Amino acid sequence: MPKKITIEPVTRIEGHGKVTIKIDDNGKVRESRLHIVEFRGFERFVQGRPYWEAPVLVQRLCGICPVSHHLAAAKALDVIVGAGTGDGLTAVGEKMRRLMHYGQFFQSHVLHFFHLSSPDFLFGIDADPAIRNVIGVIKHHKDLAVQGVMMRKYGQEIIMHTAGKKIHGTGAIPGGINKNLSIAERDLLLNGTDPLNADKMVEWSVAALEFFKVYHKSNATLVDTFAEFPSNHLSMVRKDGALDIYHGVLRAVDADGKRILNDVDYQDYDKYIEEEVRNWSYMKFPYLKHLGKEKGWYRVGPLARLNVCDFIPTPLAQKEFEEFKAYTTGKPNNMSLHYHWARLIETLHSAEAIRDLLKDSDLQNDDLVIKGEKTNKGVGVIEAPRGTLFHHYEINDNDQITLANLIVSTTNNNEPMNQAVNHTAKSFMNGQMEITEGMMNAVEVAIRAYDPCLSCATHALGQMPLEMKLVNANNEVIDSKTK
Partner 1 sequence: MNNTIKFKIDGKEIITENGKTVVEAAHQNGVYIPTLCNFPGSFSKGSCRMCTIKVNNRFMTSCTTPAAPGMEVESNTPEINEFRKSIIELLFVSGNHFCPSCEKSGNCELQALAYRYQMMVPRYPYSFPLKKVDASNPKIIKDQNRCVICQRCMKTIKTEKGEHYFAYLKRGNVLEVVMDKELGKEMTDELAKLAMENCPVGSIIYKEVGFVEPIGTRKYDKQPIGSDIDV
The site for partner 1 (CB under 8 A) is made up of: 48-50, 52-53, 55-57, 60, 81, 163-165, 168-171, 173-174, 178-179, 369, 398-400
Phi-psi region of 235 (alpha: psi -120 to 50; beta: other; left: phi over 0): beta
Q: How far apart are CA 98 and CA 458, in angstroms?
A: 26
Query: Least distance from C-beta 66 to partner 1, angstroms?
Result: 11
In the bound state with partner 1, the residue whose beta carbon lies nearer, of 134 and 369, is 369
Q: How far is CA 365 from CA 183, 243, 246, 372, in A?
A: 11, 26, 20, 20
Query: Least distance from C-beta 188 to partner 1, angstroms?
Result: 14
Query: Least distance from C-beta 402 to partner 1, angstroms?
Result: 11
In the bound state with partner 1, the residue whose beta carbon lies nearer, of 98 and 448, is 98
In the bound state with partner 1, the residue whose beta carbon lies nearer, of 48 and 465, is 48
In the bound state with partner 1, the residue whose beta carbon lies nearer, of 66 and 385, is 66
Query: Least distance from C-beta 36 to partner 1, angstroms?
Result: 24
Phi-psi region of 34 (alpha: psi -120 to 50; beta: other; left: phi over 0): beta
Query: Least distance from C-beta 202 to partner 1, angstroms?
Result: 28
Query: Least distance from C-beta 180 to partner 1, angstroms?
Result: 10
Q: How far apart are CA 174 and CA 370, in angstroms?
A: 9
In the bound state with partner 1, the residue whose beta carbon lies nearer, of 50 and 292, is 50
In the bound state with partner 1, the residue whose beta carbon lies nearer, of 49 and 377, is 49
Query: Least distance from C-beta 198 to partner 1, angstroms?
Result: 23
Q: What are phi and psi of 371, to 5 degrees?
A: -140, 155
In the bound state with partner 1, the residue whose beta carbon lies nearer, of 55 and 452, is 55
Q: How far apart are CA 410 and CA 391, in angstroms?
A: 14
Positions of E strands within 134-230: 172-173, 176-177
> Burial level of 306, CB count in 10 A (0-12/13-18/19+)?
buried
The count of C-alpha atoms lying within 13 angstroms of the C-alpha of 155, restricted to the half-sphere facing its C-beta, is: 30
In the bound state with partner 1, the residue whose beta carbon lies nearer, of 179 and 293, is 179
Q: Describe the crossing of helices 338-358 and 91-110 by its angle, rounded to 10 degrees.
A: 140
Query: Least distance from C-beta 81 to partner 1, angstroms?
Result: 8
Q: Which residues of 382-410 are buried (b: 16+ CB within 10 A; e: fewer)?
A: bbbbbbbbbbbbbbeeeeebeebebbbbb
Give the total residue count for the chain: 483
> Burial level of 97, CB count in 10 A (0-12/13-18/19+)?
buried
